[in-house]
Amino acid sequence: MLRRALTLFSLIVILNLTGCAAFRSYDTELQQTNQQLSSGNVDGALALLEKNNTGDEKDLLYYFEKGELLRFRGDLIGSQTAWGRADQTVIAWEDAVRLDSSKYLAGFGSLLINDKVRRYEGYDYEKVMLTTQMALNRLAQNDFDGARTEIKKTHEREALIAELHDKAYLKREDEAQNHGVTTQLKDLKGYPVESLDAPEVVSLKNSYQSAFSHYLAGFVYEALGEKDLAAPGYRQAAELRPGTPLLEQALLNLDAAGSKHGNADANSEVLIVVQSGFAPARDSIRIPLPLPIDNNVVITALSFPVIRADTSTPFFNQIGLDGQQINLTALNSTTAMSRRALRDDMPGIIVRTTVRAVSRGVAQKKLNEVNPLAGLAVGIASAITEGADTRTWRTLPDQTLVARLRLKLGEHNLVLPSSVGDTHVRLDIDRPYQVITLRAIGNQVYASGLAARVMPTDLPQAVAINKP
């Protein structure tokens, strides 16, 4: 009777796990959402997001994605509201970390809970890019004071993350030593290690600081006449992307005696921001590893996350402006940041995955000795739940490129290239400092705000026009 009960219980566990929302394919859902965006169907993308998130309690990712989708639509107020909900979740995380970082690290380092069933806290670069995107929303409405508030939060967030990283590194080292885990990234045969060791990844100072975020901070402070705060922003951007003329020139211009705030000559300092593509996906790959289980070495396939770059949008680094070609400077790659985050996290992921697999193997062996059917059921459940966490903010832009220009007040014609023909954007420059943000996805160009308007075209699905 007991044996039947155990077997029935195990089967019930399996059925519950297979139907659990925590095991949904998030990447598949967002691929479908992003396909709608690539075809210009923002409303369809929003409908899919709502269809896939029907519960009353929405998670952090829902608000990440919704804020970006509403921004595509041109609904900057709705976008800011959704991102505000996400920001409150991140602020609650920050408050918990400040109150007791050791408790947070202990929960995150728990070795027996599969990563993909944890509450999604967001990757550090996502938390920082959140307030950066919120600042761009403010700037699309020429609200430099509001953008300044978001930038201040970005700086404070970065400082907290840096402090937490130091503590997390020491904890990972202790856990690996305590559990005798010596496996390193290079030991994962068949894992694409080269993607995490690429020059653009290892050259990053860390996974969460963006040269674009700091350059934008410098521009906002300069526009507000706060040169003493603008200089550190430009300087930090230059340190994150050394050898970048745009960043070095920003400091020189700021220090120049002729630097003006007011632009009496009827010219405007214009920052053109072009964000393209989607953030990379996270996938799960299985790697066989030898594990010590009950005095035996057992080869077991374990799952580890990998980064899959988005290729939906051709890369370009030039735009046309009033008949002249303008070079763009790349200041941020979400793919590189995501890979750097995974590179830094992999030691902890390896420890957690290995210890979890050994503990599960020992428990299953003991259960087999008592009830083979129950042991089989638990083994099947383990196979179902095995898999890396593939959740990540997918609508976040990948590349962020900028050009800084001094333009006369009035109308200007900007041209973005695509594989089906050029996309024309009308700019209305009417103030001393202005930020123009455009988003390119596939052959679509999205613009929202007060100063940029995508012009209609006869080419099918070449552009998507958003009305503020």
In-domain check, residue 239: yes
What confidence tens digit (pLDDT) does each residue in 317-362 have? Answer: 999 999 999 999 999 999 999 999 999 999 888 888 888 888 777 7
The type of residue at 26 is Y
466 domain-assigned: no
Q: Is residue 78 part of a domain?
A: yes
Confirm whether 465 is domain-assigned. Answer: no
Question: Residue 177, Cβ neighbours under 10 Å: how many?
Answer: 11
Task: Provide, rounded to the nearest whole percent, the portion of the chain with pLDDT above 70.
Answer: 81
What is the rounded average pLDDT for all residues in the chain? 85
Q: How many domains does the chain have?
A: 1
Q: What is the pLDDT of residue 164?
A: 87
Q: Is the pLDDT of residue 400 over 80?
A: yes
Domain CATH number, residue 333 = 1.25.40.10
Answer yes or no: is 140 within a domain.
yes
pLDDT of residue 106: 59
CA distances, 135 to each of 97, 140, 281, 316 (Å): 24, 9, 25, 24
Q: What is the pLDDT at residue 289?
A: 85
- Whole-angstrom Cα distance, residue 72 to residue 67? 9
User: Per-residue confidence at 12, pLDDT binned at 50, 70, 90?
Assistant: very low
| pLDDT of 49 over the 70 cut | yes
Contacts of 70 (CB under 8 A, 6+ apart): 46, 76, 78, 79, 82
* Predicted TM-score (pTM) above 0.85: yes
- Given this model, what pLDDT does residue 68 score? 97
- Evaluate if residue 460 carries a pLDDT over 60: no
More confident residue, 108 or 386: 386
Average pLDDT of the segment spanning 144-156: 96
Within a domain: 208: yes
468 domain residue, yes or no: no
Q: Is residue 461, in this structure, part of any structural domain at all?
A: no
Q: What is the dihedral of CA 181, 182, 188, 193, to 10 degrees?
A: 120
Question: If you average pLDDT over residues 185-213, what whole number do you get?
Answer: 95
Residue 23 pLDDT > 60: no
3-state secondary structure the chain: CHHHHHHHHHHHHHHHHHHCHHHCCHHHHHHHHHHHHHCCCHHHHHHHHHHCCCCCCCCHHHHHHHHHHHHHHCCHHHHHHHHHHHHHHHHHHHHHHHHCHHHHHHHHCCCCCCHHHCCCCCCHHHHHHHHHHHHHHHHHCCCHHHHHHHHHHHHHHHHHHHHHHHHHHHHHHHHHHHCCCCCCHHHCCCCCHHHHCCHHHHCCCCCCCCHHHHHHHHHHHHHCCCHHHHHHHHHHHHHHCCCCHHHHHHHHHHHCCCCCCCCCCCEEEEEEEEEECCCCEEEEEEEEEEEEECCEEEEEEEEEEEEECCCCCCCCCEEEECCEEEECEEEEEHHHHHHHHHHHHHHHHHHHHHHHHHHHHHHHHHHHHHCHHHHHHHHHHHHHHCCCCCCCCCCCCCEEEEEEEEEECEEEEEEECCCCCCEEEEEEECCCEEEEEEEEECCEEEECCCCEEECCCCCCCCCCCCCC
Tell me the average pLDDT across 11-35: 66
pLDDT at 343: 95
- Give the pLDDT score at 21: 44
pLDDT digits 0-9 by tens, 115-141: 777 788 999 999 999 999 999 999 999
* Alpha carbons 433 and 21: distance in angstroms, whole number: 47
Does residue 273 register a pLDDT over 70? yes
Which structural domain range is residue 78 located in?
2-454
> In the chain, pLDDT over 90 holds for what percent of residues?
59
pLDDT of residue 448: 82
**Averaged over 80-106, what is the pLDDT?**
87
Predicted confidence band of residue 375 (pLDDT cuts 50, 70, 90): low
